[in-house]
């Protein structure tokens, strides 16, 4: 596949919306998924390549990396969307929570960006346009989180990868972060939690997946933005 776009964690929520919005004949989308879901049928019917990948081990990262190298001649973009929102809890040792958070939010983007550098640079060689790397971080990078300590620290490390990789890969590849505070709730979020969370921002809405999709499309269309973070936070920093 030429000029493919990779979206990790593409079988639900933001990743699923991104896959459907970005897929085209000129830029075929490859999504990774860990869990079998009904959405995969719809994606495959659209011609989207769905690759099962569990990034909780370095072997899982390497296996996906090899798949891409075997099937792709160039990459126009990779969106590092896959993520676990783990809270500290009494059942899981802190060492394992931090290990899991750093594995999915830091090891995976770090190892895949280095592995795919030649494929991203080949896109630039073929089109004279910069390829793109996008890291999905989080508002808590700048504030921390007392209930998701390891999660926030790992997202902060991911935000730092944006700075390093944008300097390393320029001008052939642009690298940016998107930092939402709230895009969409989870199915098990209580009404009281939703009410409390909405009040944390000035806009007081959960904008939905398309807010994230449009931010990704803006970065993909830009020829100049690199090393930056788009904050999708509804003015929470001023609330």
Ligand X SMILES: Nc1nc2c(c(=O)[nH]1)N=C([C@H](O)[C@@H](O)CO)CN2
Q: By CB neighbour count within 10 A (0-12 exposed, 13-18 middle, 19+ buried), where does 18 fall?
A: buried
Nearer Cβ to ligand X (90/186) = 186
Residue 136 near which of ligand X, ligand NDP, none (CB within 5-8 Å, type-dependent): ligand NDP
Nearer Cβ to ligand X (95/186) = 186
Q: Partners of 4 in the beta sheet?
A: 75
Q: Tell me how far, at minimum, the Cβ of 207 lies from ligand NDP, in Å.
A: 9
CB contact set of 164 (below 8 Å; sequence gap of 6+) = none
Residue indicated by tokens 């959405």: 39
Alpha carbon distance 157, 59 (integer Å):
22
Structure tokens at 159: 């935000």
224 noted as active-site residue? no
Nearer Cβ to ligand NDP (18/75) = 18
Residues 118-157 within binding reach of ligand X (CB under 6 A) = 138
Q: Kindly name the residue from 33, 110, 139, 151 that is annotated as catalytic.
A: 151
Q: Locate all alpha helices (DSSP H) within the chain, ordered by sequence.
A: 13-22, 39-45, 58-71, 94-102, 108-127, 149-169, 191-198, 209-221
Residue 55 near which of ligand NDP, ligand X, none (CB within 5-8 Å, type-dependent): ligand NDP
Contacting ligand X (CB under 6 A), which of 27, 52, 65, 197?
197
Q: Is 128 in the site for ligand NDP (CB under 6 A)?
A: no
List residues with catalytic annotation: 151
Residues that bind ligand NDP (CB under 6 A): 9, 11-15, 33-35, 53-56, 81-85, 104, 136, 138, 180, 182-184
């Amino acid at each position: 596949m030429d000029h493919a776009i990779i979206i990790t964690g593409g079988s639900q929520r933001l990743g699923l919306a991104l896959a459907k919005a970005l897929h085209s004949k000129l830029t075929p989308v490859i999504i990774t998924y860990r869990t079998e879901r009904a959405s995969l049928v719809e994606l495959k019917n659209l011609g989207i390549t769905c690759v099962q990948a569990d990034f909780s081990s370095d072997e899982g990262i390497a296996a996906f990396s090899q798949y891409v190298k075997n099937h792709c001649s160039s990459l126009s973009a990779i969106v590092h969307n896959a993520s676990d929102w783990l809270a500290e809890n009494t059942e899981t040792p802190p060492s394992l929570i931090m290990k899991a958070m750093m594995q999915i939010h830091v090891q995976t983007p770090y190892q895949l960006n280095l592995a795919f550098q030649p494929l991203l640079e080949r896109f630039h060689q073929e089109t004279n346009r910069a390829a793109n790397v996008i890291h999905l971080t989080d508002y808590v990078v700048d504030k921390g989180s007392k209930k998701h300590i390891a999660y926030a620290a790992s997202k902060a490390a991911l935000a730092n990868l944006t700075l390093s990789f944008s300097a390393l890969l320029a001008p052939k590849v642009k690298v940016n972060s998107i930092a939402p505070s709230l895009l969409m709730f989870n199915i098990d979020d209580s009404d009281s939690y939703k009410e409390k969370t909405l009040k944390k921002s000035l806009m007081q809405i959960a904008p939905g997946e398309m807010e994230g999709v449009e931010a990704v499309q803006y970065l993909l269309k830009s020829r100049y933005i690199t090393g930056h973070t788009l904050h999708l936070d509804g003015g929470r920093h001023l609330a």
